Structure 1
Amino acid sequence: MISTKNIVLLVLPQVQLLDVAGPCDVFTSANLFLPDDTFELRYRVHMVSGTSDKIICSGSGIPLTCSHTINDIDFPIDTLLVAGTTLTVLDEINPGLYEYLQSLTTHAKRIGSVCVGAFVLAKAGLLNGKQVTTHWKYADLLQQTYPDLKVNVNPFFIRDQQIYTSGGVSSGMDLALALLEEDFGKPLASEVAKHLVLHLKRPGVQSQFGNVLPEYEMLSPFTKQIRDLLKDKLEKTVSIEYMAESVNMSVRNFSRVFLKESGMTPGKFLEKMRLDQAKNMLEYTDMSIEMITEKCGFGSIISLRRLFLKYLSLSPAQYRKNCKGTT
């Protein structure tokens, strides 16, 4: 007799295909390696629509046909993963979806998200006070929108009790492999990883793929103005007095307004700008770390290394190695 672990991939309009296909391939590939003559469990993967329609148009334009909607699920759920979509779609979600997710906490063994699917779990109140992650580009927005969360952009996935969140897009496969390892052990998870040509534990951190600061388009007009002012002055000594004077404000008022607009102090913002520039130079130039330290306005290599370890959990040399694939 073969038992079944029902995996639900919750699909919303404009879903990213890999958010669904990646975890699906991990779980279905696992079935290929489970012995046929044992009582081992098997995975059954269900694409379930988060709307009343079973056909969902993905972000790439390819339609996905779901087996169920959240209104007609007729099987026990072992694991539910909310796939990512665009943030604009999240504003159009039927409130009934959030009520459904809340009801699952006493029934499903595990609930998780891929990419910005974390915003759905957060709005449903399932992430309150928890350690979570999401796509590096939207981590600051998630933290600002839900201050009670403890957002960490570095890990590819995070488990906090029975709630699992993963980073951007392909991180859903990292999470699925971890869930597979929980269920059947490391040997089987390793076999599936090799079959799919993946790392069982991917090296590096998610934040190495993006900037430390939020994307330029996500900054307020005032913060953009200060960023534009500073971008060509990073190797020089820049004081808060200089920033305030440049926009005809007192230091006190400038500091207050900047903190409100950006969510960080002017000094922290400047530090992150310098770190982002150092990352770009390590990735796209062959300039020595000593020269990069000078060009980015860091007082010493020790200071540069300290900030890399603080924000990326990598040294500058390790970051360059990961980006360039050098040995």
Structure 2
Amino acid sequence: MKTTNIGIVIYDDFDALDVAGPNQVFYFLQSLSGGGPQPVALHLIGRKKGEKFKSLEGLTWLVETGYKDAPDCLDVIFIPGGFGKKFQALLKNTEDPFYGFLKSQVASAKKAKKPQLICSVCVGALLLARAGLLDGYSCTTHWAFKNVLSLFPKVIVAPGYPRYVIDQNRVTGGGISSGIDEALAIVEILRGAEVARQIQLSIQYAPNPPQQSGDPSVASAATLHTVSVQIGAAELYEAVSGFLK
């Protein structure tokens, strides 16, 4: 039996929902696949096995798989978004082992001629772009940071505000909650539409928010301005444009 290995790679100050939403979807895929001909192994990956990482929201997560312990060739690499000074430091420092891990995974897949999905949600796309793994691919990110993604000249930023974009083996999601939609799309790629439908029903995913203000196409100008300031859109653009010069 060939095991499908899915790895979610976390770091300091990641967004909790960027991980929890997709992880829930992948957990159900793992459960549905248990004992079958196509088992799924789900890995939460960080620098070292047993290390604890705190999310931006203050939740502590225990990593059970370190970079050195991960399968040599993950079938799915999933990078969440984050924010704050630690996120900016990671984005700036391409010598961080995080990037070495990503590049070694991609190189292993190429050498083995193995299909591999390289995925991100929210500003996780900036980390993939920084690693050079989105060069030549159409992709998306959180609506407030599309201009930051456009600072990477070889990256093709998809128009509008899609929940996710699939371009060959690259799958990128919009802001935070988009990760659930994206994860279901990844399941469909891996196991087909019916399994994706089963998981969607299992988690009762039928969004019906009380307000229609989920992206700039439907939000009021006042709300758009307020949120852009609150989440530091201009500050991140300035920081990234500074160290990319």
Same-fold call, TM cutoff 0.5: yes
Task: Return the index of the structure with the highest Cα Rg.
Answer: 1
Paired residues for 1:1-327 under 5 Å? 2-34=1-33, 36=35, 38-39=36-37, 41-50=38-47, 54-93=51-90, 95=95, 96-108=97-109, 109-143=116-150, 145-152=151-158, 153-199=160-206, 207-208=216-217, 215-216=228-229, 218=233
RMSD across aligned C-alpha pairs, in angstroms? 2.8
In the TM superposition, residue 101 of structure 1 has moved relative to its aligned partner by 1.6
SS of the equivalent of 2:43 reads strand
User: Following the alignment from structure 1 to structure 2, what is the Cα–Cα distance between the partners of residues 54 and 172?
Assistant: 24
- Cα gap change, 1:207 to 1:7, in 2 (>3 Å): farther
TM-score (norm 2): 0.76
Q: Secondary structure at the match of 1:208?
A: coil
| Cα distance between partner residues in 1 of 2:218 and 2:179 | 16
Distance in 2, Cα, partners of 1:50 & 1:175: 25
Deviations for 1:1-53, whole angstroms, at most 9, x for unmatched residues? x43211100001111111111111111112333474x42x1221111115787
| Cα distance in 2 for residues equivalent to 1:209 and 1:71 | 45
C-alpha distance in 2 between matches for 1:15 and 1:78: 22
Q: Tell me, which stretches of 5 or more residues in structure 1 are unaligned? A: 221-327
Distance 1:63 1:205, change over 3 A: closer
Label 1:196 to 1:32 Cα distance change in 2 as closer, same or farther (>3 A).
same
Distance in 1 (CA, whole Å) between partners of 2:181 and 2:165 is 10
Q: Are the equivalent residues in 1 in contact too, given 2:49–2:65 (CA < 8 A)?
A: no
Q: List structure 1 runs of 4+ shifted beyond 4 angstroms.
A: 50-53, 204-207, 209-214, 216-220
Which protein has greater RCO, CA pairs closer than 8 Å, 6+ apart? 2
Distance 1:58 1:102, change over 3 A: same
Partners of 1:119 and 1:48 lie apart in 2 by 19
> Aligned residues, how many?
213
Any unmatched runs of 5+ in structure 2?
110-115, 208-212, 236-245
Contact kept, 8 Å, 2:48 with 2:63, in 1: the verdict is no
> SS at 2:108's partner residue?
coil
The 3 A distance-change label for structure 1 pair 127 and 70 is: same
Q: Which amino acid aligns with 1:84?
A: G
